[in-house]
Amino acid sequence: MTLEEQLIVRSGGSCELCKSKNALSVYSLPPERKQQVECCIHICEKCQQQIEKREELAPGHWTCLRETMWSDVPPVQIQSWRLLNRLKNESWASEALEIYYLDDELLETAKASGDHLETSTDTFHRDCNGVILQAGDSVTLIKSLDVKGSQINAKIGTVVKNIRLVSDNNEQIEGKIEGQQIVILTKFVRKAG
């Protein structure tokens, strides 16, 4: 039996975190990411996007953790603990953590990725309307900008394709205008179509 088939049997064909039956896939828990049934969970696309920080954590989606945390499947327990810690600013998550117990070995594994140290207020690159930007997106300038150190004046409405996110500053992106790579403040762009 393949890994995915084993996880389908274990999960009953549902997301092991939120119980959704849509767009399920195998998720290997960091930091090791072993492709073994004892290191993986079967989750839906929405859960995976939020776990991997490609989408903002939606606290309402994760209230399911109050039930999931009691799973007898170790990787589900570990991921539940990590998510509850990221959501600890929510009263229900904080209360759940107070009564949650993981044995020492599972707790050590859960802490190994460091993922639990980040909170639901993780920062994202956002455009002027608050829409989350991803690497590779196209954006439109909402203001004409003079590019420092060059003669270029980027006009309002200019589309910048295939942007890159500045990793240490969520208020900046990089993109090419007239063939020149520049840094642009996110407050001056709107995600294109």
Q: How confident is the model at residue 124 (pLDDT cuts 50, 70, 90)?
A: confident
Task: Please name the residue that has the structure tokens 């776990």.
Answer: 51
**What whole-number distance in Å separates Cα of residue 60 and Cα of residue 75?**
22
pLDDT at 134: 86
Q: For residue range 133-148, list pLDDT tens digits in order.
A: 888 999 999 999 888 8
All domains of the chain in start order, with CATH: 3-117 (no CATH), 139-191 (2.30.30.40)
pLDDT at 191: 94
Both structure tokens of 191: 């995600």
Task: Please name the residue that has the structure tokens 């007898």.
Answer: 72
Q: For residue range 43-83, list pLDDT tens digits in order.
A: 999 999 999 888 888 999 999 999 999 999 999 999 999 99
Among 18, 13, 8, 6, which Cα is nearest to 83's? Answer: 18
